[in-house]
Amino acid sequence: MKPYIAILNTRMAVLFQYRSAAIAGLCTQVFWGIVKVMILEAFFAQSVSAEPLSLAQAITFIWLGQALIQLLPWNIDKELEAQIKTGNVAYELLRPLDLYSYWFFRAMAMRLVPTIMRSIPVFMFAGLFQALPAPESWSALIAFVVSLLFAALLSSAITTLVHSSMFWTISGEGIQRLLPQVTLLFSGVVVPLPLFPDWMQPFLNLQPFRGVIDIPSRIYTGVIPVVEAPYYLGFQLVWFLFFAIAGKWLIARALRRFVIQGG
C-alpha cells in the first residue's frame, strides 16, 4: 500500500508547485460556470413546456460539472508518454509492482488530487454566490459520494486504457486533441445530458462517460431518486470492470510484444 500512497503524495507536491496556474484555472472555471448559467437562464426564459430538468437543477448540473471537471479522463500523463517514446518504460518492469496496478494508481492520483484541489473552491463559490443547493437527504449525499468514488475508478480505468494504447501509437498527440472535447461533451459538462434530444437519450444512457459526472450529478439533484441509485452505481462498476479488464489485457499484450521482445 505504501508505494501507492507515495505516488499520491508526489502528485500533490508537483501540483502545489503550479499554484499560480491552479488559481488561474480556478478563475477560468468560475467564469465558465457563470457564463453557462446565463446562457441556460436565457434559454429557459422562453421555455413553454416542462423540460427534463428544471432551471434550478440545470444550474446545479453546471456547477457540479465545473467543480468536478478534473475528474474526467481528459488528458494523458506526459511522463508515461515520454517513457513509452524513449523506451524507458522497460525500467518500470524492474519495480516490484504489477505494471497495470502501478499505472492505475498513478491515474487515480492524477484524477483525484486536482479534483479535490479544484472542487473545494468551486463548491464554496457556488454555495456562497450561486445558491447551490445541498442534496435533499443524507442518503442522497452518501450515494453521491459513493458515485464520485466509482466515477474516479471509472475515469482512471479509461485513462489507463488510453495509456496502454500508446504502446502502439507512441505519440499521444492525436488522442490528446480529441479526448478533452469528447469527454466534456459525453459526460454532460458542455450541456447536461438530460437536455440532449430525446432520440439521443438511449445512446447517451449507455455510454461510459456519463458515469463520470452525469450520474453523480443526477444523484445529487435527485433526478435519480436514492432508491434507484444502486442501479446506476452498478452501471458505473460495470463500465469500470470493462475498462479495467481491457486495460490489463492490452498491457499484457504490449509487454509480450514490445518490451520482452525488445521493440
Using the rule CB under 8 A, is 23 a contact of another protein? yes
**Least distance to another protein from the beta carbon of 19, Å?**
9
Under DSSP, the state recorded for 224 is S
**In terms of CB distance, is 51 or 92 closer to another protein?**
51
**Least distance to another protein from the beta carbon of 263, Å?**
21
**Least distance to another protein from the beta carbon of 185, Å?**
5
Using the rule CB under 8 A, is 145 a contact of another protein? no
171-195 CB burial, b ≥16 within 10 A, e <16: ebeebeeebeeebbebbbbebbbbe
Binders of another protein among 35-74, rule CB under 8 A? 35, 38-39, 41-47, 51
Nearest to 161 by CA among 100, 89, 80: 100
Binders of another protein among 187-206, rule CB under 8 A? 190-191, 195-197
Structural contact between residues 44 and 192, judged by C-beta atoms closer than 8 angstroms = no
Using the rule CB under 8 A, is 21 a contact of another protein? yes
User: Under 8 Å CB-to-CB from 196, ≥6 apart: which residues?
Assistant: 204
How many other CB atoms are there within 10 angstroms of residue 81's CB atom?
Answer: 19
Q: Which amino acid does the sequence have at 258? A: F
**Least distance to another protein from the beta carbon of 109, Å?**
22
Residues that bind another protein (CB under 8 A): 20-21, 23-25, 27-28, 31-32, 35, 38-39, 41-47, 51, 173-174, 177-178, 180-182, 184-185, 190-191, 195-197
